[in-house]
Each structure stands twice: as structure tokens, then as C-alpha cells.
Amino acid sequence: MSTRTALVANANPQGNRQYSRLTALKYVFLGVYALAILYPLFFLLISSLKDNDEIFSNPWGLPIKWGLNVYYQVWTQYEVGRYFFNSLYYSLLSVAITIFICSMASYAIVRMKWKLSKWTLGFFLLGLMVPVHSTLVPLYITASKLGLNYPRITMIVIFVAFAIPFSVFVLAGFIQGIPKEMEESGVIDGCSLPKAFWKIIFPLLAPPLATITIFNFLGSWNDLIFSLIFINDEYYKPIQLGIMRFQGNFSTRYSFLLSAIVIAIVPSVAAYMVLQDKIVSGITAGAVKG
Amino acid sequence: MERLLRNKTTILMFILPALIIYSIVLPLPAVSSVYFSLVEWNLIDTMRFVGLDNFSFLFLYDDVFYAALKNTFIYLLLSIALQLPMAFFLAIILSKAIKGRRFFRNVIFLPVTFSGVAVSLMWYFIYHSEVGLVNRFLEAVGLGFLKHSWLADGSTALYAVIICVAWQFVGYHMVIYMAGISTIPADIVEAAKMDGAGEWHIIKHIMFPYLIPMLKVSTILMTTSSLKSFDNIYIMTQGGPNHATEVLASHMYTKAFAQMEYGYGSALSTALMALCISATVLLNRLFRRDDFDA
């Protein structure tokens, strides 16, 4: 009883004033934290537009002469443009393949009737726990036997394979919720089952496929370890590997490295802005069920 | 319909592409790397089966392995200590319908989408001894005597990397906790408020118990990703100076792919895999004790 009165006493007007002071404190904290995220990014951006002299003489202010041509130089002369399109090629193609094979596989696992379907799902999900590192040596040995001559195919196959466990996990969960009458109506109209799948079920998968697209795109775009091991030809380097070349001669011109970093994160930021809710829901799905 | 769903050809056609690609890239290599850990091979000479020699060298003579193990655990514990409370605190503040909630959530999450390479190179610049933001800032506020080459000094390098990683990933765990908080039935919180429960009381007795499953998931994620951490170390310090920031994954990479000791590298990756699995099992046990089965 006495604790109860104590708690009620807390709800008096004085408590209210305390409450609003608390709110102000929260905003201060949030503001400082947001600044700690945004200011380094802003500093990176403005510094990338300055030449070395100005980085020393005017570290805090906006650039005096806007040296946008460093971006042009890095993009063309230093081949960041090619790295960029290599990455785009690996990421987009592997995402497209993942979407096709994973939606078929998930459908077969959830809807079709065969003995090992549950076991197969478990086998796919096991992949969520395999650390990348324990696959590297055997994969490298296999790839070097095949001659390392097809770096593009190697990268895409690896990105697709590592995208499968999460994608099947998300898709299988979603397909379970689709009413069975959907494809039955298609089959009754005379479609074959594969045709009914592509015409009726596949279009319904748009929400989980958006989640899969953004996660796997970021996964391949941001990869370092696989490209480090499987690509030694300058011509095939993806962006993350490519921009590391500027670290070596960092001090010759700081803005080379800085502008390359900016170029490398632009697609991530763009993808995030377009599909932010999908990212949040993907993490949530993984966290709640996993 | 039933007959169509049992059609073997259709089933195989649907499942095989994914199953084949997955099997040859993930489970098969993971298993064969355990086999490779028992051989000595540089890909050029003939492969030699050496039994457990790689492991006995690893545990008995490899000082770098022990340095890497120690650093990996420092990395792991400090990452949890920095990221978990901060993410939890931010999630609680942002769980209320306060103004700008979406903006703050998006800003704090933003770095999660960046690559490890970009973030590491950016912090390499931030920690730079002459033009870096940290030293510039210290100078500007009159603390110039604290200036330091953060990544080049073995006593600060590992902590510098840990801070950079926390900067990137707090938002990830915050989003997990926010998702957890949103599953708490509003009437429970309302009822507690009616009874006059203060904010702290609600956090401690309602939010925290509800969030235990999320805390489990995020702790497991932080643990396994810290055990496997590679990108940030590789770019910011290369494991140096003098192995001061060497971690298990960077040691494994150096052994296997720079020194071409594929057998020994496999032994290291097998040890890493064993650590990841046992950490996951252990944490699952630890959290089961007071799990609410939400």
C-alpha cells in the first residue's frame, strides 16, 4: 500500500515539470549523438573538395574554391568509374539470380509435397551460421584448379550462394501466409504448375523480394574478403577493393581518397533512402524469429 | 492439384538450382576446411597429411595466435560494452512518439549501410595524426598535448578500431530493440501509468523483460561478428603495429593467403568456427534461464 501511494505521488504537477526537463535532456542527447554520426560525414565531404594546402590552412570551413574536378579525375583517370560499374554488375546480377532461384526453391519447400522438404529448409538455414572464413581456403583451392580465369562468374556464384540462406528464410516465411486457393485457381484455369507459380505466386512476393534485394545488394556491394581473395586482376576489381589504392599514396593528395570514399557510399545511401522501411523490417524479421 | 504438387520433375526443377549453388559454396567447403586443417599444402608441392600437427603447433607454439585470441576477446567484450547499452538507451528514447523520431532513427542507422572499407578508410582519415578530425579537434579546444597517432601506436590502435566499429553498428542493434519495444502491448504500459509507475519503473519492469529475446539475438550477433571481424582491422592497421591489433580472422588471412600455408590457415579457420558455434550455444543457454518465452 505504501509503495502505491509513493508512486501516485510521483504523478503530481511537480513530476510533470520534471518530465519535460527529461524530454529536453533526451533531445540534447539525441542531438549530440546525431551530430557524432553526421559531422564526420560532413567533414569528409567538404575535405574531399579541398586541395592539400587548403586542408591544412582551412580545415573547418567550406572549401574556398570548389574543386569538383577531383571527382572527375578520380572517376576517369584513376578508374573508380570502372570499379563502380564492376561492383554494380556483380551486385545487380547476383541479386537477380538470387531472386529467381530462391523464390522457386522456397515455393518447392513450403508448398510442394515431398519427403525431405523440412530437412532441406533446415539445411539452407544452417548456412546462416557458417562463418565466411571457413569456406575461403577450400573455395580458393577449387577456384584456382578451375584457373581463376572467370573472376566475374566466381564472384557472382559466391554472392548468390551466400545470399541463399537469408533469402530462403524470408521467402519461406512469407509463402506460408499465402492462401492455397491462389495457385489452385490458376491450375483449374489450365495453367501448368510452373506457369501458375510465375503468373500468380511470384508477383505476390514483391514485399519479401524488396527486402532480399536491398540486403543482398548491400552485402555484395560492401564485400571485401571475397574480392580480396578471388580478384587479382586490376580490370575486374570492385569498388571496395579499388578505392584501397588511394590509401597508399594518401598524403600526395588527400582528396583522392576522400572523394573515392564518397563515391563508394553513395549507392548505399541511395538504396537506404529508397528502401529504408524494408531494411528495418528485414532486420526485425531476422531478430524476432532468429 | 495434389498430383501436380507431388510431381518429381517440377520439384527438382524448382529446388535444384539453389540447392546446388548453395551446397558447393557453403556447406561443402565448410566441411572440407576441417579436412584441410589436417594437411600441409601450399598448392604447388604435393599435399601432405600431417594429422593434428597444425593444431598442436597452433596451441603450443603460435604466439601470434594467442595475441590474436586476446585481442579478439578485448574487441568482443568492449564492442558489447559500448554498443549494447548505447543502443538500448537510444531505442528507449526513440520508442516514444517524440518529434523527429524517424529522423533520428534514420541518421543513427545510416552508417550500418556503409561498407567496412569505406568506414575504415574514413576513420583512417579521422585518426590521421596531422589532418585527422580527432587531433584537429583536440588542438582546437586547447588539448593539443593529447595529440596522438592513434592507429600507429600499439597501445591505442585496437581501441581506436573498436570505437570506429561501434560508431557504425550501434544503429543496427538500436533497430532490433525498437522492434522489440513495439511488440509490447500498449495497455500494459497504460495500466502501469495509471497505477502511477514512473518512467524508470516502466523501463525496468516492463520493457526490459520484454526485450530479453532481442537482447539475446543482438548479443549473439555482436559476439559472432566480433569473433569474425576482419575488414576494419585489415584496412586500418593490417594487424599491426607488431601484432597489437592482430585478430583471429586477420591472422588466418595472413597465414593462408599471404604466406600460402593453406593447411595451417584452415586450422585457424576451424578454430574460429568452433569458437563461433560454442559462443552461440553458450549464449543461448545463458539467456534461456530467464527467458520469458514471449
Domain B45-288 falls in which CATH fold?
Answer: MetI-like fold (1.10.3720)
Q: CA A175, CA A173: separation in Å to the nearest integer?
A: 6
Decide if A96 is inside a domain: yes
Residue from the list A55, A224, A279 with its beta carbon closest to the beta carbon of B231:
A224
**Torsions phi, psi for B137 (to 5 deg):** -65, -45
Exposed / middle / buried, residue B280 (Cβ in 10 Å: 0-12, 13-18, 19+): middle
Q: Determine the 3-state secondary structure of B48 from DSSP.
A: strand
The length of chain B in residues reads 294
Alpha-carbon distances of A136 from A196, A241, B99, B150, rounded to whole Å: 40, 17, 47, 31
C-alpha cell recorded at residue B132: 585527422
Would you tell me which residues 8-67 of chain A have a C-beta closer than 8 angstroms to some C-beta of chain B?
Answer: 8-11, 15, 19, 22-23, 26-27, 29-30, 33-34, 36-38, 40-41, 43-44, 47, 55-56, 59-60
Which region holds residue A79: left if phi is over 0, alpha if psi is between -120 and 50, else beta? Answer: left
CB contact under 8 A, B11 and A43: no
Kindly state the average pLDDT of the residues A61-77. 81
Chain pair A-B, CB pairs under 8 angstroms: 284
Q: Determine the 3-state secondary structure of B49 from DSSP.
A: strand
Decide if A169 is inside a domain: yes
In SS3 terms, chain A reads as CHHHHHHHHCCCHHHHHHHHHHHHHHHHHHHHHHHHHHHHHHHHHHHHCCCHHHHHHCCCCCCCCCCCHHHHHHHHCCCHHHHHHHHHHHHHHHHHHHHHHHHHHHHHHHCCCCCCHHHHHHHHHHCCCCCCHHHHHHHHHHHHHCCCCCHHHHHHHHHHHHHHHHHHHHHHHHHHCCCCHHHHHHHHCCCCHHHHHHHHHHHHCHHHHHHHHHHHHHHHHCCCHHHHHHCCCHHHCCHHHHCCHHHHCHHHCHHHHHHHHHHHHHHHHHHHHHHHHHHHHHHHHHHHHC
Tell me how close the Cα of A288 comes to any Cα of chain B, in angstroms.
Answer: 7
Over its C-alpha atoms, chain B yields an Rg (Å, rounded) of 24
CB contact under 8 A, B262 and A141: yes
- Residue A275 contacts B where some CB pair is shorter than 8 Å: no
The partner residues of B40 in beta bridges, in order of sequence, read: B48
Q: Which domain holds residue A13?
A: 2-48
Q: Please list, residue by residue across B2-25, b when 16 or more beta carbons sit within 10 angstroms of its beta carbon and e when fewer do.
A: eebbebeebbeebbebbbebbbeb
Which residues does chain B have within 8 Å of residue A142's beta carbon, measured at their own beta carbons? 29
Residue from the list B30, B116, B133 with its beta carbon closest to the beta carbon of A43:
B133
- Is residue B79 a contact partner of residue B162, using CB atoms and an 8 Å limit? yes
C-alpha cell recorded at residue B106: 534514420
> What residue in B sits closest to A115 (Cα-Cα)?
B6
Kindly state the average pLDDT of the residues A17-45. 87
- Angle of helix B262-288 relative to helix B53-60, nearest 10 degrees, comes to 70
Predicted confidence (pLDDT) per residue in A216-258, tens digit: 999 999 999 999 999 988 899 999 999 988 887 766 678 888 9
What is the pLDDT at residue A146? 78
What is the pLDDT at residue A39? 93
Tell me how close the Cα of B78 comes to any Cα of chain A, in angstroms.
Answer: 19
Task: Tell me which DSSP letter residue B40 carries.
Answer: E
C-alpha cell recorded at residue A269: 545511401
Decide if A22 is inside a domain: yes
What is the pLDDT at residue A148? 65
Predicted confidence (pLDDT) per residue in A177-194, tens digit: 888 887 787 777 777 888
Residues in Cβ contact with A36 at an 8 Å cutoff, skipping those fewer than 6 apart: B167
The CA dihedral of B254, B260, B264, B270, to the nearest 10 degrees, is: 70
| Residues A17 and A94 both lie in one domain | no
Q: Determine the 3-state secondary structure of B44 from DSSP.
A: coil
The gap from C-alpha B115 to its chain's centroid, in whole angstroms, comes to 14
Report whether pLDDT(A86) > 90. yes
Rounded percentage of chain A residues whose pLDDT exceeds 90: 40
Q: CA A247, CA A258: separation in Å to the nearest integer?
A: 10
Decide if A157 is inside a domain: yes
**Amino acid letter for position B164:** C
The partner residues of B48 in beta bridges, in order of sequence, read: B40
- Is residue A123 a contact partner of residue B18, using CB atoms and an 8 Å limit? no
> What residue in A sits closest to B87 (Cα-Cα)?
A33
Mark the ranges of chain B whose per-residue pLDDT is less than 50.
292-294
Which residues does chain B have within 8 Å of residue A237's beta carbon, measured at their own beta carbons? none
Tell me how close the Cα of B79 comes to any Cα of chain A, in angstroms.
Answer: 17
Which residues does chain A have within 8 Å of residue B110's beta carbon, measured at their own beta carbons? 37, 269, 272
Q: Determine the 3-state secondary structure of B135 from DSSP.
A: helix
> What residue in A sits closest to B172 (Cα-Cα)?
A283
Decide if A68 is inside a domain: no
**Amino acid letter for position B120:** S
What is the pLDDT at residue B140? 84
Residue from the list A56, A243, A280 with its beta carbon closest to the beta carbon of B117:
A243
Handedness of CA B101, B102, B105, B106 (dihedral sign): negative
Residues in Cβ contact with B164 at an 8 Å cutoff, skipping those fewer than 6 apart: B119, B120, B123, B126, B232, B236
Measure the N-to-C terminal CA separation of chain A; round to a whole number of Å.
Answer: 42
CB contact under 8 A, A287 and B6: no
C-alpha cell recorded at residue B215: 537482447
Which residues does chain B have within 8 Å of residue A164's beta carbon, measured at their own beta carbons? 18, 21-22, 26
Q: Which of A228, A175, A226 is nearest to A203 (CA)?
A: A175
C-alpha cell recorded at residue B172: 543496427
ipTM of the complex: 0.88
Decide if A275 is inside a domain: yes
**Torsions phi, psi for A272 (to 5 deg):** -65, -40
> What residue in B sits closest to A101 (Cα-Cα)?
B18
Report whether pLDDT(A74) > 90. no
- Residue A148 contacts B where some CB pair is shorter than 8 Å: no
| Residues A120 and A170 both lie in one domain | yes
Give residue limits of the domains in chain B: 45-288
The label of the residue with cell 607454439 reads B61
| Residues A167 and A283 both lie in one domain | yes
| Residues A228 and A157 both lie in one domain | yes
Tell me how close the Cα of A225 comes to any Cα of chain B, in angstroms.
Answer: 7
| Residues A41 and A89 both lie in one domain | no
Which residues does chain A have within 8 Å of residue B104's beta carbon, measured at their own beta carbons? 30, 33-34
Higher-scoring residue by pLDDT: A180, A95: A95
- Is residue B79 a contact partner of residue B222, using CB atoms and an 8 Å limit? yes
Residue from the list B18, B29, B32 with its beta carbon closest to the beta carbon of A102:
B18
> What residue in A sits closest to B216 (Cα-Cα)?
A287
Mutation target vs B (from A29, A137, A257; most B CBs, 10 A cutoff): A137
Tell me how close the Cα of A158 comes to any Cα of chain B, in angstroms.
Answer: 7
Q: CA A162, CA B25: separation in Å to the nearest integer?
A: 8
Decide if A58 is inside a domain: no
- Is residue B277 a contact partner of residue B224, using CB atoms and an 8 Å limit? no
The gap from C-alpha B99 to its chain's centroid, in whole angstroms, comes to 32
Give the CATH number of the domain where residue A215 resides: 1.10.3720.10
**Amino acid letter for position B77:** L
Report whether pLDDT(A65) > 90. no
Mutation target vs B (from A42, A45, A123, A134; most B CBs, 10 A cutoff): A134
C-alpha cell recorded at residue A155: 564472384
Residues in Cβ contact with A23 at an 8 Å cutoff, skipping those fewer than 6 apart: B98
CB contact under 8 A, B115 and A123: no
Cis peptide before B241 (omega within 30 of 0): yes
CB contact under 8 A, A224 and B116: yes
Which residues does chain A have within 8 Å of residue B164's beta carbon, measured at their own beta carbons? none
Q: CA A92, CA A186: separation in Å to the nearest integer?
A: 31
What is the pLDDT at residue A18? 60
Would you tell me which residues 195-254 of chain A have a C-beta closer than 8 angstroms to some C-beta of chain B?
Answer: 197, 218, 221-225, 228-229, 240-241, 243-244, 246-247, 250, 254
Predicted confidence (pLDDT) per residue in B205-214, tens digit: 888 888 888 8
Domain count, chain A: 2
Decide if A93 is inside a domain: yes
Q: Determine the 3-state secondary structure of B121 from DSSP.
A: helix
- Is residue B43 a contact partner of residue A144, using CB atoms and an 8 Å limit? yes
| Residues A27 and A136 both lie in one domain | no
| Residues A38 and A167 both lie in one domain | no
